[in-house]
Chains A and B, each alone.
Chain A
Amino acid sequence: MRVAQWIDACSAAEIEVEDVLRFDHDGRTYAIYRSPDDRFYATEGLCTHEQVHLADGLVMDHIIECPKHNGRFDYTTGQAKGAPVCIGLRTYPIRIDEGRVLIDVGIE
């Protein structure tokens, strides 16, 4: 059973529209996205191909592209979108509360 664990990650204003921010918590790294239609999303922070921080990559529409080998993911679903990545990203629930970005890093 999964137990929700909501963590205050950052201020919503810290992330620009169509951009990404790295968030580290409890030995894990996450990537938090703000989409062009001003919604927030969160995924695990490292590329599934070579463990590179995705937050250094480029966000275009709903795609995050890894800064090292250009693996691409749909950050709204975590789905891998082509070579060289084949494994998708884990995604995390996210909500905005009084201007703060909270993500649920839940424990299994």
Chain B
Amino acid sequence: MVIVGAGEAGTRAALSLRQNGWPGAITLIGQEDLPPYERPPLSKTALTCATPTAPKTIATAEGFAADKITYLPGTTVCEIDRIHHRVALLPTQREFHYDRLLLTTGASARKLALESHNGAGVHYLRTFADALRIRAELSPGKRILVIGGGFIGLEIAASARTVGAEVTVVEMAPRVLGRGVPQNLAKLIHQCHAEQGVPIFEGIGVTRFEPAGPQTRAYLSNGVTVDCDAIVAGVGAVPNTALAERAGVVTENGIRVDACLRTSDPDIFAAGDCCSFPHVLYGNRRIRLEAWRNAQTQGQHAAASLLGADTAYSAVPSFWSDHYDRTLLICGFTDEPNTTTVERNLGGVNIQFHLASDGRLLGASAFGPNEVIARDMRLAELLIERCASPGGDRLADPAVKLKSLLRAG
């Protein structure tokens, strides 16, 4: 078994293959020099901690040795030879035979079109090394321009502000968090940043950069200029499909896989940010997720599929995003057409449930202290997983325990 990409999905797959009883060789190939590590802290504690420490590892060298997993750090797979079942590696020029191959190549930060024709340095965040570079720019009073009001951009903004930097956010779209986050919650998060002293310009782009002494002057499309010490862009991610494409594996907004995570080649599978898959809970609609929990559970599912299991991946999409002392939690789908929304008040914080016209619970979302919302949001996820139709009145009634609805359903 050969796994290309040693992020969350690939590493979980490698560990799961062994846990599932695969007795043969497992090779995990990663581009970075570090042991596999958790990425969620990169936009959070890695930027706010006083002294950046090593990243939190998913597995250590000792753990890999104990599991007899061969981990090849600092290694790029440059070619897949599907006919002979071989991958070719850089820089060693080695070749590896595979019986089955898993692609967990992840996604890369989308680059600003603007960057290429000016000298301004723009930071992007995908790796621990990126986080260290951004961390070095953050200190009290430093002026930081964040381009992009998505999850990464706003989490970086919150972390930079927490450290004491002066932060401005610009978002091209009419609102922040335009993808997958209900409008009312995006508004609450916008307000939350404003209260912390982070202005957010929506519907505004950067037209050009110019040097301004030691700083960079950014010209915004509304005529405003922002002088900044550093620029960080979080303008989306693109799935890393080039390797698959070169090998003739079919892609469609990511590496195209079936419900079992198998690509157009029956011996090649894909999981995590790099793949698009049909979701059985949502009419087999093809989706691609950029989320830690999905990477984890999909990597584990892929391990089972590599070993011959024929079950559809059906985990409810679920993610969180931290802003100062509050957390956004979303599970399922909140933006399906023809849905109604009911709210459940948890002592000043609302969870909203998104219901289909036939009453089925499709999604849930909330923004508040994690300790207030997490438990009911997790129960909502379990209700969604079971395709439950618990009834809007009961969901909205704080006296009705969600756990009782789970047992009833």
Contacts and interface: CB of A to CB of B under 8 A. Distances in A.
With a 10 A CB-CB cut-off, give which of A57, A65, A69, A83 has the most chain B CB atoms: A83
Nearest to B293: A70
Interface in B76-111: none
B370 interface: yes
B12 A56 contact: no
A84 B374 contact: no
A65 B374 CA distance: 10
B300 A67 contact: no
A83 B374 contact: no
A58 B371 CA distance: 11
What interface size band does chain A fall in? Answer: 10 to 19
A39 interface: no
A18 B403 CA distance: 10
B137 interface: no
Contact of B371 (A67, A69, A83): A67
Contacts of B290: none
With a 10 A CB-CB cut-off, give which of B15, B58, B371, B379 has the most chain A CB atoms: B371
B371 A84 contact: no
B159 interface: no
B347 to A, nearest CB: 14
A98 B25 CA distance: 58
Interface string A74-104: 0000000001100000000000000000000
Given A18-B403, A83-B15, 9 more contacts: A56-B374, A56-B375, A57-B378, A58-B375, A67-B371, A67-B375, A70-B293, A83-B296, A84-B296
Interface of B: 12, 15, 38, 40, 58, 293, 296, 300, 320, 370-371, 374-375, 378-379, 403
14 contacts: A53-B371, A56-B370, A56-B371, A56-B375, A57-B374, A58-B375, A67-B374, A68-B320, A69-B40, A70-B378, A83-B12, A83-B15, A83-B300, A84-B296
